[in-house]
Structure 1
Amino acid sequence: MGYFIRDDISSAAGTTREDPRGRPVSTASPEAIAHMEQALESMLSYFGDPLAALDRAAEADPGWAHVHVLKAGLLMTGGEYGSTRMARELLATAARPGAVPHERESAHRAAAQAAADGDWDRACQLWEAILVQWPRDIAALLFAHLFDFYRGDALNLKRRPQRVLPRWSPDLPFYGYVLGMAAFGLEESGHYAEAEDTGRAAVAMNPRDPWAIHAVTHVFEMQGRHRAGAAWLDDRLQDWSVDNGFAFHNWFHAALFRMEEMDTRQALAIYDAHLADVSELALQRVDRTAALWRLKLLGVDVASRFAALRRTWATEAPEAGFYAFNDLHALVACIGAAPDGDAAMAADALLEAMADASSGGSTNERMTREIGLPLARAFRDYSRGRWSEATEGLLRIRDRAHGFGGSHAQRDILTLTLMDAAVRAGQRALAAHILAERHAAKQHTPLTAFWQGRGAGV
């Protein structure tokens, strides 16, 4: 997508135009700024279409290259090869000579380019540099926050919002969303009481903030408060589930709460009603895969659902091999289906793509080499009934698996599979040893009782 360079003050380095949070912008068009604000609101809330709002901003000021840079950044937050390829094309367009953006906008372009090149670590460093100078740059905070999550950087997931919050105030647009990000970072760092308080404060400020609702939901999950968590989501159903792009993930959590209660019938009903036909994005396929795998471990026959799901996953490079966390779930979808030649071939292709892992860039190459590929091989051993080998492989990687992204709740799939493999391998003492980790938070839940009954008794 191209744009026209305007030879006037709207593209000049010395402009004093600011957005509603006092950040300098290199456009003189109030209309373009207003559309940018709409885009940012949609990015943060998952309501509406941020890409369409960015297109309207570009129409209002065709010379404002920053619009295309943020569009590229947004596309990359999906963590997929196809959208990242589109982002690379946008950045190449935005790099045409002639425009003179503000230095903040130039810094955004450098960060986006690093992400597009696959150096997610460097991209987060560059977004952080923007926040040092412009701590109310909500796009830099959002992009860094999401890539902290993808990289499994719980420390900065917590600290990055904390570093900018003192420079915000409740009267500024988007303040509540910053609180929501802070709440999630606190939860992923184990500060559950503070995370719940912060998340509830964000929801009180904006009841239709699904990220903040989600942060408090994670607290309930981690503390074993599954009934309270289900009620939390049910009571706010109209706020997060209607025409919202994040609803699929909160439905995933709703299913987890039912599984903790061992209400597999209701969990499967949630899957069929709200997750089964949602697979446009890898983020959605991850939740579909994880929900079905948990049900499979609980003895529910989900083979036909897995058979449909695994065909929505790309299993060959360059789409496969782009992001290790997604690739592992794609493999799980393949081995969760009833065994057949096509599924086995797809699993083989996935492992081959992960062994290469070149399409994602340096950060994913590291995550795949150190975590994703060893875990994939352990799951493949599991699928072949090599229980001892699967147990050993999962046990070896599990404690450092945070390094390839996802949340504690999402990565629990590794622990559940490890316990199942250990029981099947006759290593019941090990299974009980692992189950004891849940003692403090989930000692009395029906799911824990299930695993005790399976032979992992504490």
Structure 2
Amino acid sequence: MLVERDVFGQAVTCGSAATVGGWNAALADIFDFRGDPGATLADLTTADGDFMMGLVVTTAGAVLGGDDPRGVGVREGLLEVARRSAGATLRERRHVEALVDLVRGNFTEAAVKWDAVVADHPHDIVATRIAHDIYLHVGDDDRRLVSSREAFAAWQPGEPGYGWTAGQLAFALEEAGHFAEAERHGRMALEVDPVDVWALHALAHVFEMKERHDEAVEHLRSTRAAWEERDHLALHLLWHLLIRLVAAREFDECLAEFDSQIGAVDRAFGLTDLTSLMWRLELAGCDVGDRWATIAKKWRNHDQLHTTGFLDLHAALAFAACPEDPGAPTFWEGLDVCHRDDNSENDQTFEAVVRPMAEAISDYREGHHAEASHAILGLVGLISRVGGSIAQRDLFVRTGQDASRRAGSEVQLMEEESR
């Protein structure tokens, strides 16, 4: 058993120095949103029985990516990383402690533990990234901003984590409403890597929130060739471009892009982008044809349903729009019974936010606009708990507002008919 230093200066327990080279390459791919770092880490884990950090990253990534924490893959990963951690460093064992909380659905507790790792090991880029992603997962803008500021402060220009943590901080600043500072840090990250897609993403959010339409479209069109190559975030950046085109009522391009993308999308978070696009198009008055049937078929019996509220609410949009889909009854029944046995943070979010919001979405689609408006707008203060960004969750606010408008129109019509 060896302890080698990775490119960020962290001690990595392994059986071969070559493992750390593969670990460095996988981390670069993760931060660049490209390649297949999960496969790289899986291969390293299989080849090196002393290496455990790969399992930390792949297991955390599986949970945050929508895989069922109760599933065989996640459970086996957790058991194996716990076994390997017996010979690992204290820092690595603390990663496992945080991972256990994550798998149990206590997301914030896990993130706080990863933040504590960073406090003692400021260049632990893995702990930095997972904490950031968890705070996005639970919509905790305040904690993410504190965490991201502290992480960035630990790096100097020219050091390997400087650009990545600048881009991460840019997004955290934007979500907290510090738009000028967010733009400055996003551009700092792009000076290090002009194709830093998380920094490009942060700037897209700044332009979206400030309604800087022309800049948003130019920004995303001019960099498209670059971010399409960093393909793990490409669909989401395309979504950013398309919601600007929805705002400009350029519906034909939006529908054409949907048609070109939907066939290849299988992961649930990718489906959320296309589901959101269709719903926004309809709110804007666009006839989307029979495309809801295509989306509902993709969501049907998806193995990432009922794992996280953000995913289930987007599936609810699809099945509310296409109630005749064979998967709709199974989805609604599954949503009704899931996350009722335990008392984790995730369970509480499903109970307080996800189920009532999904029911309100169904009411809206069935034409019960007054009930939907009351429920949706009453949940606006809690909707951040399902995670995602302000721009993504704005969909539910818009739906509540449209329900309110429709309810008002219906009341007015009834009054006119009664005269």
Return the TM-score normalized by structure 1. Answer: 0.84
Instruction: Give, in whole Å, the separation in 1 of the partners of 2:172 and 2:48.
Output: 36
Distance apart, 1:135 and its partner CA: 1.3
Aligned counterparts, 1:360-375, within 5 A: 362-375=344-357
Q: CA deviation at 1:115?
A: 0.9
Separation (CA, whole Å) in 1 of partners of 2:341 and 2:72: 10
Q: Match of 2:417?
A: none
Contact 2:136 2:387 in 1 (8 A): yes
User: By how many angstroms is 1:30 displaced?
Assistant: 2.6
Amino acid at match of 1:198: H
**2:324 is the alignment partner of 1:340:** yes
CA 1:365/1:267 → structure 2, altered by over 3 Å: closer, same or farther?
same
Separation (CA, whole Å) in 2 of partners of 1:139 and 1:403: 24
Report which stretch shifted further, 318-327 or 403-412. Answer: 318-327
Give, as a single letter, the amino acid of the residue that structure 1 aligns with 2:296.
R
Q: What does residue 271 of structure 2 align with? A: 285
User: Structure 1, residues 308-330: CA drift from partner, whole Å, max 9, x if none?
Assistant: 111222558x8533211111110
AA aligned to 2:308 is: Y
In structure 2, stretches of 5+ residues that fail to align are: 412-419
Aligned pairs for 1:55-94 (under 5 A) are 55-58=42-45, 61-81=48-68, 85-94=72-81
State the AA in 2 paired with 1:157: R
Residue 412 of structure 1 deviates from its aligned partner by 1.0
Match of 1:321 in 2: 306
Q: Structure 1: which 5+ runs fail to align?
A: 1-7, 430-458
Alignment of 1:173-322 (within 5 A): 173-242=160-229, 244-273=231-260, 275-314=261-300, 319-322=304-307
- Label 1:232 to 1:164 Cα distance change in 2 as closer, same or farther (>3 A): same
Could you say what secondary structure the match of 1:342 adopts?
Answer: coil
Q: How many residues align?
A: 411
| Residues 149 and 407 in structure 1, CA contact (< 8 A), matched pair in contact too | yes
Q: CA 1:419–1:278 in 2, change beyond 3 Å: closer, same or farther?
A: farther
Task: Kindly state the Cα deviation for residue 210 of structure 1 after the two structures are TM-superposed.
Answer: 1.1
Q: How much identity, in percent, do the aligned residues show?
A: 30
How many Å separate the matches in 2 of 1:255 and 1:84? Answer: 35
**CA-CA distance at 1:402 after TM superposition:** 1.0
Residue equivalent to 1:400: 382
Partner amino acid, structure 2, of 1:336: A
Structure 1 residues 360 and 69: alpha-carbon distance in aligned structure 2, compared to 1, 3 A threshold: farther
User: Residue 80 of structure 1 contacts residue 282 of structure 1 at CA under 8 Å; is this kept in 2?
Assistant: no
**Alpha-carbon displacement from aligned partner over 1:399-458 (angstroms, at most 9, x marks no partner):** 3311221111101111211121112101699xxxxxxxxxxxxxxxxxxxxxxxxxxxxx
Establish whether residue 391 from structure 1 lines up as the match of residue 378 from structure 2.
no
Deviations 1:271-307 (A, max 9, x none): 222x322432111011111001011112222252111
Distance 1:404 1:150 in 2: 7
How far the C-alpha of 1:371 sits from its partner, in A, is 1.4
Q: Decide which moves more: 66-75 or 99-108.
A: 66-75
8 Å Cα contact 2:111/2:135 also seen in 1 = yes
Work out whether 1:413 is the aligned partner of 2:395: yes
> Quick check: 1:145 aligned with 2:137?
no
Q: 1:118 aligns with which of 86, 97, 105?
A: 105
Give the root-mean-square deviation of aligned CA atoms: 2.3
Q: TM-score with structure 2 length normalisation?
A: 0.92
Kept in 2, the 8 Å contact 1:278–1:285? The answer is no
Q: 1:69 is matched by which residue type in structure 2?
A: V
